[in-house]
């Protein structure tokens, strides 16, 4: 029998791992469902990352609002290492200490009563969708299954979450969408009223439409949805995947409006980069998902739970939620100044806290701006058709915010005819 060469300097595998070989390797081996930048990131610290060639980037993507503590936060690194050496995963046939503690902390911070854990925001929304429908099934109302969701919304990539998502391009090519979802314009309370009926189980809403273009709700919209749900006996299901865990300057985005949901989906910033999702519910909904009706193999594992508990502790100790208010104001003011300086290229700034968007004028190539910013050392994402999305780590420094604004300004100046 011929053995493969040992892994080392003489191994063909080792040769593939040279920095210059990694980009072609990735392009050849990874499924092409992402539009990825032509470099390979290698390490990070705080709000900065470096690629395999040693180039430094200011990370105002942060894993799309995931890396709440930035990169390589010493508290999070230590907690993950310590927990990995103690207990990582035991399955949901058994309780684990870290998971129970995390459930308690999240319920206390959110005003909810119980938690279900999974691995992502899409899974949390999928669980929330199943919960909403099954809740009325268990109450003897199986006809009550329709969901009201919103145009331009984004709730994830599973088939159920895609059905809730109000942008047709995300559903194209996947066959008939899940039935029983009605989409109405975001912010239009009269349209929601017109869509309500005895078959409506729930309204699904984002406190700020993140992927749709960083669109905050008009004043009174979220409280109005709460009133409509109370009037019709429907559930208010809040997608706080992008807005939760302090990003908008409150622990939950809906807390700005004094609104409490019946169920809440969380993910992204909760684990600080470690995959975790959560569904939080009120006690009256607890009997809907009985044993065997829903589950998650990896959900609630001790390692993810310890990571999330560490994120919550650092949020408090470093006052990062309060910081999202002040630093978000600085970022918003900087983006507004760019709008005033480049009125032919930018049409506005919008957002809450450290979830901000710079909307570009019609005809401006948004992805060209994105690419030029990247070449200048600033990582951003595009939200909607024409909005640059700024979601830096909550640990971002004010000097880094100023640097990001300066880079954006230089790029816009280069775009002028």
Q: Give the model confidence (pLDDT) of 300-333 as tens digits.
A: 999 999 999 999 999 999 999 999 999 999 999 9
CA-based nearest residue to 121, from 129, 109, 111, 110 = 129
What is the Cα–Cα distance from 298 to 304, expressed in whole angstroms?
A: 9
In 30-106 the beta strands, taken as DSSP E runs, fall at 41-45, 48-51, 56-59
Say if CB 128 and CB 263 are below 8 A apart: yes
Please classify residue 4 by burial: count the beta carbons closer than 10 Å to its beta carbon, then call 0-12 exposed, 13-18 middle and 19+ buried: exposed
In 146-270 the beta strands, taken as DSSP E runs, fall at 146-150, 181-184, 200-205, 235-239, 263-266
Flag whether pLDDT at 378 surpasses 60.
Answer: yes
Q: Give the model confidence (pLDDT) of 268-289 as tens digits.
A: 999 999 999 999 999 999 999 9
Query: Based on C-alpha coordinates, what's the Rg of the chain?
Result: 22
Say if CB 119 and CB 275 are below 8 A apart: yes
**pLDDT confidence tier of residue 10, bands split at 50, 70 and 90:** very low
pLDDT at 177: 87
pLDDT at 2: 37
Q: Give the model confidence (pLDDT) of 220-239 as tens digits.
A: 999 999 999 999 999 999 99
Lowest mean pLDDT among 10-19, 71-80, 361-370, 405-414: 10-19
What is the Cα–Cα distance from 271 to 209, expressed in whole angstroms?
A: 21
**pLDDT confidence tier of residue 417, bands split at 50, 70 and 90:** low
Q: Give the model confidence (pLDDT) of 54-86 as tens digits.
A: 999 999 999 999 999 999 999 999 999 999 999
The whole model's pTM is what? 0.94
DSSP bridge partners of 279: 116, 265
Q: How many residues does the chain have?
A: 417
% helix, strand, coil for the chain, step of 5: 40, 20, 40
CA atoms in the 13 A half-sphere facing the CB of 219: 0
DSSP bridge partners of 215: 209
**pLDDT confidence tier of residue 5, bands split at 50, 70 and 90:** very low
Q: Give the model confidence (pLDDT) of 187-221 as tens digits.
A: 999 999 999 999 999 999 999 999 999 999 999 99
Active centre residues (catalytic): 154, 239, 268
């Amino acid at each position: 029998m011929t053995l493969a060469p040992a892994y080392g300097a003489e191994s063909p595998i080792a040769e593939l791992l040279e920095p210059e070989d990694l980009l072609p390797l990735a392009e050849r081996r990874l499924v092409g469902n992402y539009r990825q930048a032509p470099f390979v990131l290698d390490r990070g610290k705080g709000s900065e990352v470096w690629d395999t060639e040693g180039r430094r980037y200011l990370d105002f993507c942060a894993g799309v609002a995931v890396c709440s503590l930035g990169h390589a936060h010493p508290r999070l690194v230590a907690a993950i290492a310590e927990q990995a050496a103690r207990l990582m995963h035991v399955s949901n046939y058994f309780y684990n200490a870290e998971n129970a503690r995390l459930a308690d902390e999240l319920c206390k911070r959110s005003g909810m009563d119980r938690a279900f854990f999974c691995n992502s925001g899409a899974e949390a929304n999928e669980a929330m969708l199943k919960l909403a429908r099954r809740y009325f099934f268990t109450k003897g109302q199986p006809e009550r299954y329709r969901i009201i969701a919103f145009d331009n919304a984004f709730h994830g990539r599973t088939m159920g979450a895609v059905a809730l998502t109000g942008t047709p391009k995300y559903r194209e090519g996947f066959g008939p969408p899940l039935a029983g979802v009605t989409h109405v314009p975001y912010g239009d309370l009269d349209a929601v009223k017109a869509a309500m009926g005895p078959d409506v189980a729930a309204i699904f809403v984002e406190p700020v439409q993140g992927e749709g273009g960083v669109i905050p709700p008009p004043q009174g919209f979220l409280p109005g949805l709460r009133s409509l749900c109370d009037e019709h006996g429907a559930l208010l299901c809040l997608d706080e995947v992008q807005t939760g865990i302090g990003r908008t300057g409150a622990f939950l985005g809906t807390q700005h409006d004094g609104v409490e949901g019946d169920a809440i989906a969380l993910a992204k910033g909760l684990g600080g980069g470690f995959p975790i999702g959560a569904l939080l519910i009120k006690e009256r909904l607890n009997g809907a998902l009985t044993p065997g009706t829903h589950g998650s193999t990896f959900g609630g594992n001790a390692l993810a739970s310890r990571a999330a508990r560490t994120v919550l502790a650092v949020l408090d100790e470093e006052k990062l939620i309060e910081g999202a208010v002040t630093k978000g104001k600085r970022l918003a003011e900087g983006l507004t100044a760019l709008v005033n300086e480049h009125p032919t290229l930018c049409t506005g700034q919008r957002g809450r806290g450290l979830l901000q968007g710079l909307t570009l004028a019609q005809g401006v190539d948004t992805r060209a701006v994105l690419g030029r910013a990247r070449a200048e050392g600033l990582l951003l994402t595009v939200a909607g058709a024409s909005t640059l999305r700024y979601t830096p780590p909550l640990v971002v420094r004010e000097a880094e915010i100023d640097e990001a604004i300066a880079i954006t300004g230089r790029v816009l100046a280069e775009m002028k005819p």
